[in-house]
């Protein structure tokens, strides 16, 4: 799966012959799973039509500050467009547009949006040979790179003038490859391997019945997706759940019982950098599992239970350099119980949930957690979506490696 998958890309098209290549570029972005919006300078519409790029991007194309044919003259908000984007690409970037970007001459929607962008900005120059080497253009390259913008160098070949040399906009396939390589190199968890557990476990009573809990697995799957988005190699050990990993790079290992999950976790733990135990593992299981369905006969029926193996404690006992994160779901004495778990299970961080908090717990789209680290520093968080909580947890992981 491409690192561009799910990314919101704002493509700025300026007025050069290379604009015809943007149709292929948009198509490749969409194929990679990106969401694309296009801004065109008025001059660029002489080389490629807004209808073409709108059809390929599946979004309206913007080219002016307001729509001329709209009786209400609705403003195309350049600030909203800039804030929407995860990255902005200006391709082709003509000498005229480069100069305006350098000086802040925002006489068109594209440059105004560029000046409002807070995301990474890439530019792919395209112009004739002598223009590409002119001191004024070279100074634009230097200035834009000093602003933190990233240049995708032009390629050599036959130019529109008939000359041959440097100045051709990079081919769409090469632009995609450049962006993917640059984004991957900056992912904060690139090269890290993370083990995550998710969901409930089911402990069999007989062939049709089990002891389980209400965990949906959403928190663990959100953690796995976010970790993969940050560049980590993710192994997700999932109990019974209907959730699927959104990021195709997540390796999912499906298990049923606590013993299954224990075995898989111990198989992989020694070779990971981080383990996050988000699963709601059953504490007890039937001591004897009936081989046939138990018939409803007696008025009373009892099952003898035995403890399951404590997966998190067992990982803490053999931990070397792994960053180990556990979850605690409590109903009383929450902070005290969470602190005890940190010590007993040799954790680096615990994520505390309380069933007393509205919006937290099983089968909810939201969660309200408190972080407690091994030094007992307590950090309560606001109620957030589970996706946002996953981001907060992975930020703790990123910070850990930044310090080490």
Catalytic positions are: 213
Instruction: Give the N- to C-terminal CA distance of the chain in Å, as an integer.
Output: 30
- What is the spatial distance between Cα 62 and Cα 38, in angstroms, rounded to a whole number? 6
Residue ranges of E strands in 190-318: 193-198, 203-204, 210-211, 233-238, 251-254, 274-277, 284-286, 305-307
**How would DSSP label each residue in 135-170?**
HHHHHHHHHHHHTT-EE---EEEE-TTS-EEEEEPP
**Contact in structure between 204 and 294 (CB atoms under 8 Å):** no
- Taking residue 55's Cβ as centre, other Cβ atoms within 10 Å add up to 13
Which residues fall within 8 angstroms of residue 188, CB to CB, at 6 or more apart? 230, 231, 398, 401, 402
**Contact in structure between 119 and 88 (CB atoms under 8 Å):** yes
Residue 242 token pair? 């209907």
Residue 44 token pair? 């660029």
Task: Give whole-number Cα distances, 281 to 137, 197, 215, 218, 343, in Å.
Answer: 62, 9, 9, 14, 19
CA dihedral 362, 366, 368, 373 (to 10 degrees): 80
- For 107-140, letters b (16+ CB in 10 Å) and e give ebbbbbbbebbebbbbbbbbbbbebbeeeebeeb
Residue 183 token pair? 């984004």
* DSSP summary character for residue 274: E
Helix (H) or strand (E) holding 62: strand 61-62
Q: Of 95, 98, 96, nearest to 122 (Cα)?
A: 98
- For 233-255, letters b (16+ CB in 10 Å) and e give bbbbbbbbbebebbbebbebbeb
Q: Of 186, 222, 168, nearest to 367 (Cα)?
A: 222
**Contact in structure between 45 and 70 (CB atoms under 8 Å):** no
């Amino acid at each position: 799966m491409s690192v561009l998958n799910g990314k919101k890309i704002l493509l700025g098209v300026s007025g050069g012959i290379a604009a015809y290549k943007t149709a292929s570029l948009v198509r490749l972005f969409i194929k990679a799973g990106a969401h694309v919006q296009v801004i065109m300078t008025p001059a660029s519409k002489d080389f490629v039509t807004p209808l073409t790029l709108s059809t390929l991007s599946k979004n309206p194309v913007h080219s002016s500050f307001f729509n001329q044919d709209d009786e209400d003259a609705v403003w195309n908000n350049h600030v909203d467009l800039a804030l929407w984007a995860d990255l902005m690409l200006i391709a082709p970037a003509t000498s005229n547009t480069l100069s305006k970007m350098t000086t802040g001459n925002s006489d068109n929607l594209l440059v105004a949006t560029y000046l409002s962008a807070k995301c990474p900005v890439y530019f792919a120059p395209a112009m004739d040979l002598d223009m590409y080497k002119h001191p004024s253009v070279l100074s634009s390259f230097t200035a834009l790179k000093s602003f933190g913008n990233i240049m995708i160098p032009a390629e050599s070949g036959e130019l529109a003038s008939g000359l041959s040399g440097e100045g051709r906009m990079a081919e769409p396939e090469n632009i995609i490859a450049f962006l993917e390589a640059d984004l991957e190199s900056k992912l904060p968890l690139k090269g890290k391997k993370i083990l995550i557990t998710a969901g409930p476990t089911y402990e069999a009573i007989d062939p049709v019945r089990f002891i389980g809990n209400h965990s949906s697995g959403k928190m663990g799957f959100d953690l796995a997706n976010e970790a993969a988005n940050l560049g980590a190699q993710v192994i997700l050990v999932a109990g019974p759940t209907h959730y699927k990993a959104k990021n195709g790079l997540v390796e999912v290992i499906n298990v049923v019982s606590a013993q299954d999950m224990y075995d898989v976790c111990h198989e992989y733990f020694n070779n990971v950098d981080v383990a996050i135990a988000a699963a709601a593992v059953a504490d007890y299981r039937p001591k004897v599992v009936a081989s046939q369905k138990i018939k409803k006969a007696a008025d009373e029926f009892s099952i003898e239970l035995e403890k399951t193996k404590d997966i998190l404690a067992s990982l803490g006992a053999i931990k070397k350099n792994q960053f180990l994160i556990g979850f605690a779901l409590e109903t009383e004495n929450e902070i005290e119980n969470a602190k005890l778990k940190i010590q007993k299970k040799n954790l680096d961080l615990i994520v505390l949930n309380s069933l007393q908090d509205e919006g937290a717990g099983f089968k909810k789209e939201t969660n309200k957690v408190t972080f407690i680290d091994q030094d007992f520093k307590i950090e309560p968080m606001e109620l957030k979506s589970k996706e946002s909580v996953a981001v907060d947890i992975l930020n703790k992981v990123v910070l850990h490696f930044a310090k080490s």
